[in-house]
Chains A and B, each alone.
Chain A
């Protein structure tokens, strides 16, 4: 089955700096790659996603890039703010088969003042 690896496990940045989280996946058939943000004690919330027919997608301060050849994708957060502090999860999925998501192990992002 699919295996998703995520790095780093913890990331500390100064407010205003950029943060980058990287994921790799194993199944070349995967074609949907969402990112979820989870605040302490809350449910995961979708923040951005990308499908394999595009290489990059932006939404304000957040962007995701996808390299299908290398089987990796990354989350970029610019101009970080304290409210960006949370755990971020990447995931991967193939079409059909119940549309199951396989998640990475998460990155704890801390934005320091």
Chain B
């Protein structure tokens, strides 16, 4: 099993450009999440999907949109990237017992 797969691993964007971060899991988990990680601030929840067909805002949703395409896939979109969105982005999925499995991360730089 691959677990949670994120693409791309690295990306550099210019201010105002758009992009989609892809995430897929093969563990048949119902819940999926997008977090961003910034130095000294831990992991902060951007959006989550408790089950296929539902999405909800987390702690820092501004500037992002998400799509739960099916049970396996949960994408994160930046419509107009800003330097403040420079961060490392982690996708995760979880069992009902709340054990999380994280993807390997996407390091995004907005210049």
Q: Do most interface residues of chain A lie in helix, strand or loop, or is the interface mixed?
A: mixed
Determine whether the beta carbon of B94 is less than 8 Å from that of A99: yes
Looking at the assembled complex, report how far the CB atom of B107 sits from the nearest CB atom of chain A, in whole angstroms: 9
Residues of A within 8 A of B (CB): 1, 6, 9, 32, 34, 36, 42-46, 49, 89, 93, 97-106
In contact, A103 and B42 (Cβ under 8 angstroms): yes
Q: Which of B43, B99, B105 contacts A46 (CB 8 A)?
A: B99
Give Cα distance in the complex from A109 to B33, angstroms.
Answer: 27
Contact B90 A1 (CB under 8 A): no
- Smallest CB-CB separation from B32: which chain A residue? A98
Interface centre among B40, B41, B42 (most CB of A within 10 A): B42
User: Do B105 and A105 touch (CB < 8 A)?
Assistant: no
- Besides the contacts A46-B99, A103-B43, A106-B40, what 17 more A-B pairs have beta carbons closer than 8 Å? A34-B98, A36-B100, A43-B105, A44-B90, A46-B100, A89-B42, A97-B50, A98-B31, A98-B33, A98-B56, A99-B31, A99-B50, A100-B45, A101-B43, A102-B45, A102-B59, A106-B42
